[in-house]
Amino acid sequence: MAAKDFARLHNQDRAHLASVRGADRFINPALKGRALDLSDAIQPIWQIKPALKSRYLVKNWIDRGALSVVYGESNVGKTFFALDLAMHVAARLPWHGHKVADIDPDGNRPGPVLYIAGEGGHGIRNRIEAIRRERSDIMERIEGESDFCLLSTGLDLCGPNDVKALSEAIAEWADFAALIVVDTLARAMGDGDENTAKDMGAFVRNVDQFVNRH
């Protein structure tokens, strides 16, 4: 078939579908259910617009509703890094020169921060106490409004049980939580292996249940 003939037939099919759906889109009216939903979600290139406004949580670092991973060698300060960032988000104070979300367009604050310390013990509490002593400006903005909460326990976020239990435990405020930190990944994998695609896929799918809620 010549290129011009293919183009003519292509345009005829496109015009037919547009007349059926009332729009210039490639949608088969015979589709139903999930197939129709996916077809409706397909965007032609002329409908794709740039995302010029980022719903950031920490500008240039973390967007709202995003899933991020902090990684590095052992004993390089990953927990201090994550805790410091979480505290600044809870206090709504700039984090090392990067703006932290304060008030959203509807006039609501980003919400509380939940820090899940899977290793438990005294370590995380001592780190929080160090921040309390050295950064009173942060603690003064957090303590009076309960914007930072600590869950010091191990979780299995690879399987369904702890995910369901945690969802129920934080149901009252999870929808407007600003940030949920899981520290560490290894302690939240249960019997899963963080180095295998299958187990990490299960972990990400489970965590997405929290990420996609706010």
pLDDT tens sequence across 35-87: 888 888 888 888 888 877 768 889 989 888 888 899 889 889 899 999 999 99
Q: Is the sign of the CA dihedral 133, 139, 140, 145 positive or negative?
A: negative
Q: Which CATH number covers residue 125?
A: 3.40.50.300
**CA angle in degrees (0–180, nearest 5) for 86-89-90:** 85
The reply to whether 42 and 60 lie within a common domain is no
Which amino acid type is present at position 69?
V
The reply to whether 39 and 136 lie within a common domain is no
How many structural domains is the chain composed of? 2
- Is 108:175 a contact under the CB 8 Å cutoff? no
Neighbours of 200 (CB within 10 A): 17
Q: Where are the alpha helices (DSSP H) in the chain?
A: 3-21, 33-41, 78-91, 123-134, 136-143, 160-169, 197-211
**Residue ranges in the chain whose pLDDT is less than 70:** 1-27, 54, 103-110, 120-121, 143-146, 174-175, 211-214
The reply to whether 43 and 69 lie within a common domain is no
- Is 100:178 a contact under the CB 8 Å cutoff? no
The reply to whether 62 and 165 lie within a common domain is yes
The reply to whether 153 and 199 lie within a common domain is yes
The reply to whether 165 and 204 lie within a common domain is yes
The reply to whether 126 and 194 lie within a common domain is yes
- Is 111:177 a contact under the CB 8 Å cutoff? yes
Where on the phi/psi map is residue 97: left (φ > 0), alpha (ψ -120 to 50), or beta? left
The reply to whether 82 and 18 lie within a common domain is no
pTM: predicted TM-score of the whole model, two decimal places: 0.74
The pLDDT of residue 214 is 46
Q: Whole-angstrom Cα distance, residue 86 to residue 42?
A: 37
The pLDDT of residue 16 is 52
The pLDDT of residue 116 is 92
The reply to whether 66 and 18 lie within a common domain is no
The reply to whether 104 and 144 lie within a common domain is yes
Q: Domain of 199?
A: 56-211
Q: Whole-angstrom Cα distance, residue 163 to residue 157?
A: 6
The reply to whether 203 and 126 lie within a common domain is yes
The reply to whether 143 and 88 lie within a common domain is yes
